[in-house]
């Protein structure tokens, strides 16, 4: 009797343990046969998909793969058999761009991309003939507003050896420049380079931590501004409410009107922030870096194209690239301000307005000493095709960092690349 009871109890325990055991985890990875994922137009690329079940090669299975031109013009799906954890797929592009491969199974997915002569990508449309006239008029209106700045000292979490301030600066368009500003204590006049940190998409306060750059490379003027001219240091609920309400779809606001489009105000605040930094007695008169990623990269390109005082830009996975990509049968980058109809045709008014806010056109006008850009080959937010179109339009000394297996993010390597480039620029200008 006791033996039967013990056996029954053990069976129940075994069944319970089996019920609680985690389901097997399937992961997919993919790479190209070229380690740098770069190819010549017309060359065949081989994608190898690796399927692992709980970390071990999947003995037998299937994956569905789709090739596309960086997200547009997808080819028919192909079902591949996985044997001993691997499957392969070949493809090619007959024009400059990126061949994107998506592989999916019931429980996992992955992507990889092959870049085809990406340095040959050109802007999808020319610069509007009145581009400069338009922006000269905007800057003239900004100049009519006195650059009155209100600085409130900040002492919490400020590193020793520097002073920090909440700064509000009057600007055109009804919203001030709002940021944090830091500088080393006892800095001498005309002795310091300046750096302006600009934000990616979203709704948030300026970042106090960024002003610690003030202590880099012997001292800098460092300023971090939020993208919307909002008060700094408010509770999270304050910004969440704006993100869900008034600023929910700011990127599409007045996208058919170049005079009212949301990014016009953002870029005027950018210029006004530069007004402030270059007016400081400690500024060295020659070094001004604009540093940002995603929407911040968008602002960095705009700063370089609109303001000759900018000496260097660092633009990580930049948004705002090649809004008119549809005109070359290509993908455009965030913020996708040109809507497409059911037949795939762009809104004509938005298409024209977007051209005045396009990195490809800002890039052509950039006259700064240099620029660095980062790009993710599987970035579906700011696709590499759009980023390279803007990068290639730069006529100044430049460098690009390819993250071939990364999406829309700053990898540690990309961050190191940008930071090193910014500080190198500071050292080089100091030696002149």
| Mean pLDDT to the nearest integer, 194-199 | 98
> Do 90 and 141 lie in a common domain?
no
| Mean model confidence pLDDT for the chain | 94
* Tens-place pLDDT, residues 135-180: 999 999 999 999 999 999 998 888 999 999 999 999 998 899 999 9
| Mean pLDDT to the nearest integer, 65-75 | 97
Domain final position from 86, 120, 154: 120
**Residue 16, domain member (yes or no):** no
> Do 135 and 116 lie in a common domain?
no
Confidence of residue 3 (pLDDT cuts 50, 70, 90): very low
What's the 3-state SS for 44-78?
A: CEEEEEEEEECCEECCEEEEEEEEEECCECCCCCE
- Give Cβ neighbours of residue 28 (< 8 Å, ≥ 6 apart): 49, 50, 51, 52, 63, 103, 104, 105, 108, 109, 110
Please check the confidence at residue 14 and state whether its pLDDT lies above 70.
Answer: no
CATH for 94: 2.60.40.10
* Tens-place pLDDT, residues 313-362: 999 999 999 999 999 999 999 999 999 998 889 999 999 999 999 999 99
| Whether 70 contacts 383, CB under 8 Å | yes
> Do 260 and 391 lie in a common domain?
yes
pLDDT of residue 201: 97
More confident residue, 416 or 14: 416
> Do 193 and 62 lie in a common domain?
no
Please check the confidence at residue 15 and state whether its pLDDT lies above 60.
Answer: no
**Residue 175, domain member (yes or no):** yes
CATH for 358: 3.40.50.1820
| Mean pLDDT to the nearest integer, 79-93 | 96
pLDDT of residue 20: 60
Full residue range of the structural domain in which residue 39 is found: 26-120
> Do 105 and 173 lie in a common domain?
no
| Mean pLDDT to the nearest integer, 251-279 | 97
- Classify strands 149-154 and 38-39 as parallel, antiparallel or unpaired: unpaired
**Residue 12, domain member (yes or no):** no
**Residue 182, domain member (yes or no):** yes
> Do 90 and 45 lie in a common domain?
yes
> Do 424 and 305 lie in a common domain?
yes
> Do 223 and 372 lie in a common domain?
yes
pLDDT of residue 21: 60
Question: Strand pairing partners for 46?
Answer: 90
| Whether 115 contacts 138, CB under 8 Å | no
Please check the confidence at residue 7 and state whether its pLDDT lies above 80.
Answer: no
> Do 116 and 233 lie in a common domain?
no
Question: Among 212, 198, 209, 194, which residue's Cα sits nearest to residue 282?
Answer: 194
pLDDT of residue 156: 85
**Residue 266, domain member (yes or no):** yes
| Tally of domains in the chain | 2
Domain final position from 120, 141, 176: 120
Domain final position from 58, 89, 120: 120
Per-residue tokens: 428: 């080089």
> Do 201 and 105 lie in a common domain?
no
Confidence of residue 6 (pLDDT cuts 50, 70, 90): very low
Q: What is the percent of the chain where pLDDT is above 70? A: 95
């Amino acid at each position: 009797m006791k033996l039967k009871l013990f056996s029954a109890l053990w069976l129940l325990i075994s069944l319970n343990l089996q019920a609680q055991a985690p389901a097997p985890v399937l992961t997919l990875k993919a790479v190209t046969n070229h380690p740098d994922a770069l190819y010549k137009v017309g060359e065949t690329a081989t994608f190898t998909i690796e399927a692992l079940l709980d970390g071990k090669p999947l003995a037998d299975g299937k994956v569905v793969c789709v090739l596309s031109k960086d997200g547009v013009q997808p080819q028919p799906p192909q079902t591949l058999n996985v044997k001993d954890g691997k499957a392969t797929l070949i493809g090619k592009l007959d024009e400059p761009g990126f061949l994107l491969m998506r592989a999916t199974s019931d429980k996992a997915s992955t992507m990889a991309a092959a870049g085809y002569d990406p340095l040959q990508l050109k802007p999808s449309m020319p610069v509007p003939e009145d581009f400069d006239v338009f922006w000269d008029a905007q800057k003239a209106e900004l100049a009519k507003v006195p650059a009155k700045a209100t600085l409130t000292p900040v002492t919490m979490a400020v590193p020793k050896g520097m002073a920090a301030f909440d700064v509000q600066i009057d600007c055109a368009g009804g919203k001030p420049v709002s940021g944090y500003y830091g500088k080393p204590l006892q800095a001498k006049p005309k002795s310091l380079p300046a750096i302006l940190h600009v934000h990616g998409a979203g709704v948030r306060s300026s970042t106090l931590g960024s002003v610690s750059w003030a202590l880099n490379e012997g001292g800098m003027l460092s300023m971090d501004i939020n993208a919307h001219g909002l008060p700094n240091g408010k509770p999270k609920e304050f910004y969440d409410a704006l993100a869900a309400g008034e600023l929910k779809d700011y990127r599409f606001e007045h996208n058919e009107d170049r005079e009212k489009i949301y990014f016009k105000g953002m870029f005027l605040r950018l210029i006004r922030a530069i007004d402030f930094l270059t007016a400081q007695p400690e500024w060295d008169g020659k070094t001004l870096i604009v540093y940002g990623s995603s929407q911040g990269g968008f602002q960095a390109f705009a700063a370089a194209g609109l303001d000759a005082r900018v000496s260097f830009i660092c633009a990580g996975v930049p948004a705002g690239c090649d809004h008119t990509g549809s005109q070359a049968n290509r993908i455009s980058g965030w913020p996708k301000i040109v809507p497409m109809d059911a037949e795939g045709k762009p809104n004509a008014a938005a298409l024209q307005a977007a051209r005045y806010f396009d990195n490809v056109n800002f890039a052509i006008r950039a006259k700064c000493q240099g620029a660095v850009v980062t790009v993710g080959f599987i970035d579906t937010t700011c696709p590499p095709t759009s980023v390279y179109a803007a990068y290639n339009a730069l006529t100044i000394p430049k460098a690009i960092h390819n993250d071939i297996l990364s999406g829309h993010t700053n990898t540690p390597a990309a961050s190191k690349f940008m930071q090193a480039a910014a500080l190198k620029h500071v050292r080089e200008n100091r030696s002149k």
